[in-house]
Chain A
Amino acid sequence: MEVIKLENIYVAYSGSDKPAIMDINLSIELGELVLITGPNGAGKTTLIETCLGLLKPLRGRAFLLGINTKSPRIIRARRQCSYVPQNFMKPPYESYTVKHVIKLGLASFKLPFEPINKNEEERIKEVANLLGIKDLLNKPMGMLSGGQQQRVIIARALVRKPKVLFLDEPFSSLDHDARIHVAKIIKSYVEEYRASAIIISHDINPVMELVDRVIEMENGRIIRIRSRV
């Protein structure tokens, strides 16, 4: 089953004549772990945001879990995905606690007045334990270091049990050991839940051994796709 399908995609930001990504044809299957790499300005984040339907293509068609990203039904597809954005850092005055931030990951599944249930509370603790942030659950986000905040956002992504995980530079604020640890968590999640993960990373070392495919981008184009032998 294809979770992502991009057909001849061109995306340009408003006010810019030059497309940020162009001539993109890509298909990602369920259960695949894919690494997207390339220099700054290559179009990696634009590609992920196009897959999620946050950016609409000028030309071509993009499908997420079989739904055209231009369709209003894309919201349903997004509910089966998680996103770890590149800009996750919150300022020191941010008062939302770690537990609250992880809980917010479940917001899109909730009906009006519907509270978080016991199973979900347990799941939050479980994921926090997995990422080594259990002791931080009652701390405000603004008081945490960059690495801790990054773990919280990854925990929020995992608590949703997504079919597709989009991770934009998920190792950027982590030290060497934590990078290896988080990479392994992502790999085991993909295997356990038969999910797909699309990781953008400059630092390919922590995940190189774990991924199924490496997509290299430059100047808004895919220049090479390598499959793991």
Chain B
Amino acid sequence: MFINIFLLSIVSALFAGGLCGAVGFHVQRFGVTTMSFGIAHAALAGAALGLLLGVDSTMSAMLLALIIALFMGIVLIRISYGRELISMAIFSASSAIALFAIYVSSAKVLATTSVAIILWGSLLAITFEKLVLLITLSILFSLYIVACRVHIDAILYDKKLAEAEGVNVQLHTLILLFFTGAVIAITLKLTGGFLVFTLLYNPVATALQIAKSARKQLVLSSILGSISAITGLIVSYIIDLPVGATIALTSTTILIITCITRISIEKIKWKINKLS
């Protein structure tokens, strides 16, 4: 029984990490990192409200994350002045709503592990249905980036130029924010609400240190996301630590090691060039 649950968590971590890495790459290149940060915390608020209202917290997390993604993709994207600050205000408000919902929840809810799961994550939180949802989302996102590769590439190369040429940048940004909201809502219980965005950002940050081409960065972000999630999951099980925090520290460690290695290689190359 336990082996089944553990295997389920490992496969979920593989897909969650890979999908977060791929979505995170596009989030970074589309320049909507702060918005995704706001969406991540809206998902946390949604999950906490789900606990309070006694409904499925993944679905409530997804609902609120998608509402905020819709707001950001339609309204906030048109505001050029102070957009980042408004996103941060949404982040603060969402965190406050999450804490408020947990605070006013009944003693019965607080006594369960549900609260801990949405805050810190748990390998026990992943069910077969959630894994199916995660795989479906991964397939949909892969289809989207393959189908619209040329439009997405045009935006990644130069967003303003793409817009001037008639590429529907707003629509693609909205689609990306929707995927961000959905992937965060599903991954939330594995990594915990406060750390879910580390799987979006850290693998991309590491990939940017290693690869030069956008395509390699995308593939690498995805692979690094999966490696971070699986390693974090196994380490957290062995040492008995919170899953989310362990995944976050694993991906951060990979990033630090990559940065140090890259700087060292550049220094050695520079010295060799100087000598020759």
* Contact in complex: A54, B163 (CB < 8 Å): yes
B164 interfacial by beta-carbon distance below 8 Å:
yes
- Inter-chain CA distance A116–B150, complex, in Å, is 9
> Least Cβ distance of B34 to chain A in Å?
17
Residues of B within 8 A of A108 (CB): 151, 154, 162, 165-167
Is A127 an interface residue, CB under 8 A from the partner? no
CB-nearest residue of chain A to B163 = A54
Q: Which residues of A contact B (CB under 8 A)?
A: 13-15, 52, 54, 75-83, 85, 88, 93, 95-96, 100-101, 103-108, 110, 112-113, 116, 160, 166
Q: How far is the CB of B205 from chain A (nearest CB, A)?
A: 15
B148 on interface, CB distance cutoff 8 Å: yes
Q: CB distance B166 to A85 under 8 Å?
A: no
Residues of B within 8 A of A80 (CB): 166
Which B residues have a C-beta under 8 Å from some C-beta of A?
79-82, 146-148, 150-151, 153-154, 157-158, 160-168, 212-214
B165 touches A105 (CB 8 A): yes
The docked-state distance in angstroms from the alpha carbon of A13 to that of B79 is: 11
Cα A74 to Cα B146 with chains together (Å): 26
- Residue contact B165 to A82, C-beta cutoff 8 Å: yes
Cβ contact within 8 Å between A95 and B213: yes
Question: What secondary structure prevails in chain A residues at the interface with B?
Answer: loop
A-B contact pairs, 16 of them (CB 8 A): A14-B82, A54-B164, A78-B165, A81-B165, A81-B166, A83-B161, A93-B212, A95-B214, A96-B213, A106-B150, A107-B151, A107-B154, A107-B165, A110-B151, A112-B147, A166-B164
Please give, as numbers and ranges, the residues of chain B lying within 8 Å of A78 by CB-CB distance.
Answer: 163-166
Of all chain A residues, the one with the shortest Cβ separation from B80 is A14
A114 CB, nearest partner CB in chain B, Å = 8
Say yes or no: A81-B164 contact (C-beta < 8 A), given A14-B80, A95-B214.
Answer: yes
A116 to B158 Cα, complex, angstroms:
19
B46 → chain A closest CB, angstroms = 30
- A19 CA to B35 CA in the complex, in Å? 29
Residues of B within 8 A of A93 (CB): 212
Identify which of A54, A85, A103, A107 gathers the most chain B CB atoms within 10 Å of its CB: A107
**In the bound complex, how far is the Cα of B55 from the Cα of A54, in angstroms?**
43
The 7 A-B pairs at the shortest CB distance, nearest first, are namely: A14-B81, A79-B166, A78-B166, A112-B147, A108-B166, A83-B164, A107-B154
A180–B153 Cα distance when bound, in Å, is: 32
Q: Which residues of B contact A160 (CB under 8 A)?
A: 165
